[in-house]
């Protein structure tokens, strides 16, 4: 035990002495949180639309003003020319073109149905689907408003009496979005970015660690000391483990103060899960560092693996959208499980019972990867 503490103390001194490293540890996470949470967003805002109004009636103008008033769209063009709108799509300055045909009002009054053409720029990816959903919603609302404003009069005038609404089957649909009622993208991203922070720092630093000792030749010195393999790995892990938890605290504080992220569940439970997860992340880093020869290789391999882990973790895009075989593979991705846990606790207020499955997978991963790291280290010594 004393040996572990001595070695851990040496590690701490190394970390504190390295100014760049300290800056990296303190500044990078905050910058990452601030930039990532603002940049990594699929939130749809300021969607530029071009309205081609070929009808030019009060009804069609009403539709245009409803689109403008919905808050989702920014009207960048109203020239009644299909060519101009098409140019906008090609040049990428327009995300959606709304074409109101010239008999819009007439056919709406006559037949009750009028088409509107929405051309969405598919280049904008997932935004295209959302934009389309937003626009459709505006159309439905506007149609309902028109119905109540125009139709009763028309029908009543024809039939000479108000229409009986009773007897018509009606479904009253209420909609509730849970856990993120304001649909704030940051509330979704920040708990995930916290995981990315802890992962980056934990894995990168620990991977560099043994590789550096190898490069400097100090690993040889350690090898001739009476320290045992398990003790060695434990001593290497300990400082970074504490560092990772500090990092998480830093992230949580910034997240709370700057973004006011929800903390519905128990923060203590989150720390417990983080402690377990860090063992996995650090274990992976240490394992890599026993495999490689130089710091450059260590960073390169780690970087490669961390990128794949992060992209397949559901941090940026939902796991549910991935191809089935990717979803199956992602089960062995520890980042995925911690992202799930972090969001479940912070946003949904999940208790231990709800996160038993990802937690146990993390525990198994920790056992496996640490065993691997210890065994791998022995091979090097022999």
Partner 1 sequence: MSALKGLLQKEVFHILRDRRTLIVLIALPVVQVVLFGFAIRTDIDGVRLAVVDSAPDYATMALRDRFASAGVFRTVSVVTRTADLDPLFQNGQAQQAIVFKPSFAADLARGEPAQILIVTDATEPNTGSLLQAYAQAVIDGYQRELSASAASSAVRASRMVIAPDVRVRFNPTRASSNLFVPGLMAFVLTIVSSMMTAISITREKETGTMEAMLVSPLRPLEIIVGKVAPYLVIGFVSAIAIIVEARLVFRVPLRGSLLLLLFEAALFILVSLSLGILVSARTSSQRLAMMAALLGTMLPNVLLSGFIFPVESMPWLLRILSNIVPGRWFVAIARGIMLKGVGLAYVWRETLILAVMAGVLLAASVHSFKERLE
Interacting positions 135-154 with partner 1 (CB under 8 A): 135-137, 139-140, 142-144, 146-147, 150-152
Q: Tokens representing 133?
A: 């959903």
* Residue 108 vs residues 55, 67, 113, 119: alpha-carbon distances, Å: 12, 18, 5, 21
Question: What is the H or E stretch that residue 76 is in?
Answer: strand 73-77
Q: Which of 377, 32, 25 has the alpha carbon at shortest distance from 205? A: 25
Interacting positions 228-267 with partner 1 (CB under 8 A): none
- Return the number of other C-beta atoms located less than 10 Å from residue 103's C-beta: 14
**CA-to-CA distance for 335 and 330, rounded, in angstroms?**
9
Residue (108 or 252) nearer to partner 1, CB: 108
Q: Tokens representing 117?
A: 């053409």
Decide: is 376 part of the binding site for partner 1 (CB under 8 A).
no
Decide: is 70 part of the binding site for partner 1 (CB under 8 A).
no
Interacting positions 329-358 with partner 1 (CB under 8 A): 330, 340, 343-344, 347-351, 353-355, 357
Decide: is 296 part of the binding site for partner 1 (CB under 8 A).
yes
Interacting positions 183-202 with partner 1 (CB under 8 A): 183-185, 188
Residue (21 or 222) nearer to partner 1, CB: 21
Q: Which of 68, 301, 363, 372 binds partner 1 (CB under 8 A)?
A: 301
Q: Cβ 57 to partner 1, closest distance in Å?
A: 14
Q: Which of 1, 174, 379, 382 binds partner 1 (CB under 8 A)?
A: 174
Decide: is 57 part of the binding site for partner 1 (CB under 8 A).
no
Q: Cβ 98 to partner 1, closest distance in Å?
A: 9
Interacting positions 26-55 with partner 1 (CB under 8 A): 28, 35-36, 38-48
Decide: is 163 part of the binding site for partner 1 (CB under 8 A).
yes
Q: Which of 2, 19, 176, 379 binds partner 1 (CB under 8 A)?
A: 176
Asked if 135 and 98 count as a contact pair (C-beta separation under 8 A), the reply is: yes
Q: Which of 112, 228, 332, 368 binds partner 1 (CB under 8 A)?
A: 112
Residue (116 or 363) nearer to partner 1, CB: 116
- Phi, psi (deg, nearest 5) at residue 312: -95, 15
Structure letter (DSSP) for residue 262: -
Decide: is 92 part of the binding site for partner 1 (CB under 8 A).
yes
Residues 6+ apart with CB under 8 A from 230: 374
Q: Which of 71, 160, 169, 226 binds partner 1 (CB under 8 A)?
A: 169
Decide: is 220 part of the binding site for partner 1 (CB under 8 A).
no
**CA-to-CA distance for 29 and 15, rounded, in angstroms?**
16
Q: Give the bridge partners for 53, in sequence order.
A: 100
* Residue 229 vs residues 8, 37, 49, 234: alpha-carbon distances, Å: 14, 40, 64, 9
Residue 169, Ramachandran bin (φ over 0: left; ψ between -120 and 50: alpha; else beta): beta
Q: Which of 71, 160, 226, 318 binds partner 1 (CB under 8 A)?
A: 318
Q: Cβ 139 to partner 1, closest distance in Å?
A: 5
Residues 6+ apart with CB under 8 A from 133: none
**CA-to-CA distance for 35 and 152, rounded, in angstroms?**
53
Decide: is 113 part of the binding site for partner 1 (CB under 8 A).
yes
């Amino acid at each position: 035990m004393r040996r572990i503490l001595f070695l851990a103390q040496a590690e701490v001194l190394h970390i504190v002495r390295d100014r760049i490293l300290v800056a990296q540890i303190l500044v990078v996470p905050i910058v990452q949180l601030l930039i990532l949470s603002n940049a990594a967003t699929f939130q749809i805002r300021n969607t530029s639309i071009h309205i081609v109004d070929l009808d030019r009636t009060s009804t069609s103008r009403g539709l245009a003003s409803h689109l403008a008033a919905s808050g989702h769209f920014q009207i960048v063009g109203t020239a009644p020319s299909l060519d101009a709108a098409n140019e906008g799509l090609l040049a990428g300055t327009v995300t959606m073109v709304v074409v109101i045909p010239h008999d819009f009002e007439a056919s709406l009054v006559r037949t009750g149905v009028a088409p509107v053409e929405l051309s969405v720029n598919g280049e904008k990816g997932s935004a295209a689907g959302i934009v389309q959903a937003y626009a459709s919603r505006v159309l439905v609302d506007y149609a309902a408003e028109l119905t109540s404003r125009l139709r009763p009069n028309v029908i009543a005038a024809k039939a000479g009496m108000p229409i009986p609404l009773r007897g018509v089957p009606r479904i009253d649909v209420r909609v509730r979005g849970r856990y993120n009622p304001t649909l704030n993208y940051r509330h979704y991203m920040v708990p995930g970015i916290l995981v990315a922070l802890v992962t980056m720092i934990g894995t990168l630093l620990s991977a560099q660690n043994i590789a550096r000792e190898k490069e400097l030749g100090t690993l040889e010195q350690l090898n001739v000391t009476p320290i045992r393999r398990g003790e060695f790995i434990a001593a290497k892990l300990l400082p970074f483990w504490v560092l990772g938890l500090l990092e998480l605290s830093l992230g949580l504080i910034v997240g709370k103060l700057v973004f006011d992220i929800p903390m519905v569940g128990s923060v203590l439970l989150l720390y417990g899960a983080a402690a377990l997860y860090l063992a996995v992340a650090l274990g992976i880093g240490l394992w890599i560092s026993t495999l490689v020869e130089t710091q450059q290789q260590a960073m390169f391999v780690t970087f490669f693996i961390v990128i794949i882990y992060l992209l397949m973790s559901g941090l940026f895009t939902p796991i549910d959208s991935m191809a089935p075989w990717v979803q199956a593979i992602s089960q062995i991705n520890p980042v995925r499980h911690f992202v799930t846990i972090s969001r479940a606790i912070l946003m949904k207020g999940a208790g231990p019972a709800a996160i038993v499955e990802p937690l146990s997978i993390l525990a198994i991963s920790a056992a496996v990867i640490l065993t691997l790291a210890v065994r791998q280290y022995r091979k090097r010594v022999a």
